[in-house]
Amino acid sequence: MPERALIDGMPRTHGELRECVVLDAGREPVDERAYAQAIRRLMQGDAVELGRDHNAICYRAGLVATDGRPLAAVVKVPRMGPQRTNADTSFAWEARILASLPVAGIGAGPGLLGRVVAGGTHFLFMDEVPGRHPDPATHPLDAQTLHAILEQLYAMDARGLMHYDLKPANMLVDGTRVRFVDFEFARYRDVLETYTPASEAFCADYNVSGNPFFPGRSNVANFEFRALHFHLRDLAAAGADAEALIRHWLRARSGYHRRMAVFVAGLADSSATGMALAAGIAPGRVRDRLHAAAQHETMLADVFAQPHEAAARVERLLMAYRCAVFERDAAEIERLRQTIRAASGPDATRRGTLPGAYCQAVTRVVELVGRSS
C-alpha cells in the first residue's frame, strides 16, 4: 500500500488527479493521461511495491505507451520523513542521469520512461530492472556475478560516472546479468580534469582509486566498501568460504585492471593535449603520467591474476578501512591503519610477496581515504 501520508497529501477532486504534468520525457512516447492513470492506480493501493529505502518507494506501474504497448515500468515516489538522505524530492537529477546513460554507453541502469508532477508530488518512471539483491544468506555473490559487476563498474569508471551508492539494495542480479538502480547521487567527472590542481582534493575521498598516476575515484572502491565488505564479513561469520570469494573478486579485478591499462594508455593518444591544457602542464608530462598509469594498472592486473595471500589480505583490509572511515569509527580506523601498514610495509616488499609500487600505492590510499570527510 502506498504510504497514507503521500495519498492524503495529494490534492484530488472526486478521486481524480487535478493535473499531471510531464517534466521529462523518456525513451518511449507516453501520453500524459497514461501517467495520470498509473498514478491513480498507485493511489488506490493497486500497485505492487518493489522496494523502499531512505528516500523513496518503488512500485510496479501499469504504464502504457502512446501506441498501446504495455511497458514494464517502475514508478519511484518520494518518501518523506527524517530518514531522508537527499533533500531534493523532485528526481530531476536522477532523471537527467538516467537519460544520459545510453548516450554515454552505460548499460548498467534502467531506461528513463518519464518524470512527472501531480498534485505537488514528483514521480519518476523507469524500466523495471529484473533480479534480486545480493544477500550473503539467501543470494550470495559468486565468481560469475563478480565478473558481471566488474563489467558494469569498468564501463562507468571509463566514462567518468561515479554511482556513489553501490550497496546491495541498489544492485539487482538476474542470472548472469547485473544492473544498478538509484542513480540519485551519481555524478560525471570529465577525464580532462584528471591532472588539474583540484584533483588532489577530489582524491581525498573514501572512493579514491589505487592508481597514483591516474588520480580519481572508482566505482570499484565504492562497491567494495558499500557492499562487498559486509558480504564477506557475513559469509565469514556464517562459516562460509569468504577467502575463496575474495580470490574470485581479485581475479575478476585482474581483468578490470588489464582493460584499464589499455584505456589509460589510449588516453595518451586521444586526450593528452586536452588534459594538459586543463591542468596547465606540458602534454609530454601528461603522456608520461598516462604511460606510468597504464604500467601501474598492468602491475595490479598481474598481482591479482593469481592473487597471493598477502595481496588478498591487504585488499580485504582496505575495504574494511574505507568502511571504517565512512562510518567514522575512530578506534577501527586506527587499528586498520596499523594492520595495513604492517601488511604492506617494507617487510612485505623485502619478502618479495608484494611489489614495492603496490605497497606505496596502498599507503597513498590509506592517507587519502583518511582525509575523506
List of residues contacting ligand ADP (CB under 6 A): 50-56, 58, 74, 76, 110, 126, 128-129, 169-170, 181-182, 184
Q: Considering the rule CB under 5 A, would residue 184 count as an interface residue with Mg ion?
A: no
Distance CA 171, CA 213 (A): 30
Residues 6+ apart with CB under 8 A from 2: 42, 43, 45, 47, 57, 59, 77
Cβ of residue 132: shortest distance to Mg ion, in angstroms?
15
Cβ of residue 169: shortest distance to ligand ADP, in angstroms?
4
Half-sphere exposure of 98 (CA within 13 A, CB side): 28
The site partner of 74 among ligand ADP, Mg ion, none (C-beta below 5 to 8 Å per kind) is: ligand ADP
Which lies closer to Mg ion via its Cβ, residue 6 or residue 240?
A: 6
Which lies closer to Mg ion via its Cβ, residue 165 or residue 224?
A: 165
Which lies closer to Mg ion via its Cβ, residue 94 or residue 182?
A: 182
**DSSP secondary structure of 41-107:** HHHTT-S-EEEE-SSEEEEEEEEE-TTS-EEEEEEEEE--STT-S-S--S-HHHHHHHHHHHHHT--
Which lies closer to ligand ADP via its Cβ, residue 99 or residue 143?
A: 99
Which lies closer to ligand ADP via its Cβ, residue 2 or residue 110?
A: 110
Residue 24-63 contact track with Mg ion, rule CB under 5 A, x = bound: -----------------------------x----------
Q: Considering the rule CB under 5 A, would residue 170 count as an interface residue with Mg ion?
A: yes
Q: Which of 262, 256, 74 is nearest to 148 (CA)?
A: 256
Interface segment toward Mg ion; rule CB under 5 A; list 125-133, 182-190, 264-272, 307-315: 182-190
Binder among 28, 94, 127, 182 for Mg ion (CB under 5 A): 182
| Nine-digit cell string for 72 | 514494464
Distance CA 189, CA 169 (A): 25
Please work out, in degrees rounded to the nearest 5, the angle formed at the alpha carbon of residue 58 by the alpha carbons of 53 and 60: 155
Q: Considering the rule CB under 5 A, would residue 224 count as an interface residue with Mg ion?
A: no
Half-sphere exposure of 257 (CA within 13 A, CB side): 24
Half-sphere exposure of 42 (CA within 13 A, CB side): 32
Distance CA 143, CA 251 (A): 9
Which lies closer to ligand ADP via its Cβ, residue 1 or residue 201?
A: 1
Task: Tell me the residue nearest to ligand ADP as measured from the CB.
Answer: 51
Alpha helices in the chain (DSSP H): 4-9, 32-43, 92-104, 143-158, 199-203, 219-223, 229-237, 242-270, 272-279, 283-305, 309-326, 330-344, 346-350, 356-370
Interface segment toward Mg ion; rule CB under 5 A; list 117-125, 179-187, 221-229, 350-358: 179-187
Look at residue 213 and give its three-state secondary structure.
Answer: coil
Cβ of residue 10: shortest distance to Mg ion, in angstroms?
23
Cβ of residue 47: shortest distance to Mg ion, in angstroms?
18
The site partner of 157 among Mg ion, ligand ADP, none (C-beta below 5 to 8 Å per kind) is: none
Which lies closer to ligand ADP via its Cβ, residue 76 or residue 229?
A: 76
Cβ of residue 97: shortest distance to ligand ADP, in angstroms?
12
User: Which amino acid belongs to residue 261?
Assistant: A
> What's the Cα-to-Cα distance from 207 to each of 138, 163, 270, 310, 368, rounded to whole Å?
28, 11, 26, 22, 9
The site partner of 194 among ligand ADP, Mg ion, none (C-beta below 5 to 8 Å per kind) is: none
Which lies closer to ligand ADP via its Cβ, residue 95 or residue 267?
A: 95
Cβ of residue 281: shortest distance to ligand ADP, in angstroms?
40
Which lies closer to ligand ADP via its Cβ, residue 83 or residue 373?
A: 83
Helix or strand holding residue 12 (H, E): strand 12-13
Packed helices 283-305 and 272-279: angle between N→C axes, nearest 10 degrees: 110
User: Which amino acid belongs to residue 151?
Assistant: E
Binding site for Mg ion (CB under 5 A): 53, 170, 182
